[in-house]
Amino acid sequence: MTQFALVIDLNVCVGCHACVTNCKQWNTGGEAGPLADLNPYGKDPNGTFFNRILSYEVGTFPNTETWYLPKSCLHCEDPPCVPVCPTGASYKRKSDGIVLVDYDKCIGCKYCSWACPYGVREFDEERKVMTKCTLCVDRLYDTSLPESRRKPACVLACPAGARIFGDIHDPDSEVSRRIREEGGFQLMPELGTRPANHYLPRSKTVLPIDEAQVVRAENPLRHDEAPHATGLQPIEEEMG
């Protein structure tokens, strides 16, 4: 069974909001109608977004690190938002595991968003229905798009390539391999929702080098030090 998901590499994400912008652009122009923009040029602009980047400060100033967390619907394998819906508007597709809202059935009672621990559902104040990330389901199967473009808008927009899209149930897919090899994790796994989206943790690439390795003090030949020390040109073998 297919379970589409996003895998987000926190090592690569720089919090540039390109994914947020492209998500809004694509989904506000979609068949389901525009995403609300309330007071867009006023003092307190706000509106519907399917994807947001949260910034956290880890540590105590000045010894801190900034941690970006791009967050959209995690398309849980056991989504708490689905069984609570009284109308069946909130559902999970069996064919590809995408959690969707049928905007024509939603009565706007907001109960699904109470059940979601991640705060990824947003009630659209203009359409008066609950909305959320669709994984750009309207792109994934659109045969008029070239195959390489049949991906969520956020994935296509990410300039750093931090977002990877694929089937986490296929053990040979890139997403599965990277979750496996790079320690991919889920948000609040203890709640038992089994989010499909995973994050790849930050890992610093540091090569510990001892001074002795640089100056080669232990090298009995002390081969490369001699010419520089005396200002002589290195010989041809040394240029190698």
Partner 1 sequence: MRPAFSVLFLTTLIGAAQGAAIILYALFLAKGSGPDAPLAFYLTTGGVSLLLLAAGLVASFFHLGHPERAWRAVTCWRTSWLSREVIVLPLFGFAELLWLLLLWQGDWRAAAAWGSVMAFLAIALYVCTGMIYAAVKVLREWAHPITVVNYLLMGVASGALLTAGIAEGLAPAVAPMLAKAALWLTLIALVGRGVSLWRNARIPPYSTARAIGVHHQRIRQISQGSMGGNYNMREYFHGQPPEVVRAVLIAALGAGFLAPVVLLLLGVPALLVFLLQYGGLLAERWYFFAEARHPQNLYYQVV
Residues that bind partner 1 (CB under 8 A): 15, 17, 20, 39, 44-49, 52-60, 66-67, 69, 71, 80, 82-89, 105-111, 113-119, 122-123, 125, 127-129, 185, 187-188, 190-191, 199, 201
Q: Residue 126: helix, strand or coil by DSSP?
A: coil
- Whichever of 44 and 172 has its CB closer to partner 1, that residue is 44
Mark 129-146 as b/e (b = at least 16 C-beta within 10 Å).
bbbbbbbbbebbeeeeee
Angle at 194 between CA 167 and CA 20, to 5 degrees: 65
**Residues 139, 145, 147, 148, CA torsion sign:** negative
Q: How far is the CB of 91 from partner 1 (least distance, A)?
A: 10
Q: How far is the CB of 15 from partner 1 (least distance, A)?
A: 7
Q: How far is the CB of 43 from partner 1 (least distance, A)?
A: 8
- Beta strands 37-38 and 46-47 are antiparallel
Q: Residue 140: helix, strand or coil by DSSP?
A: helix
Q: In what order do the strands lie in the sheet with 163-167?
A: 163-167, 4-9, 198-200
- Whichever of 52 and 150 has its CB closer to partner 1, that residue is 52
- Whichever of 2 and 11 has its CB closer to partner 1, that residue is 11
- Whichever of 83 and 234 has its CB closer to partner 1, that residue is 83
On the CB side of 71, CA atoms within 13 Å amount to 17
- Whichever of 20 and 154 has its CB closer to partner 1, that residue is 20
Q: How far is the CB of 200 from partner 1 (least distance, A)?
A: 10
Q: How far is the CB of 191 from partner 1 (least distance, A)?
A: 6
Residue from 199, 175, 201 nearest 74 by CA:
199
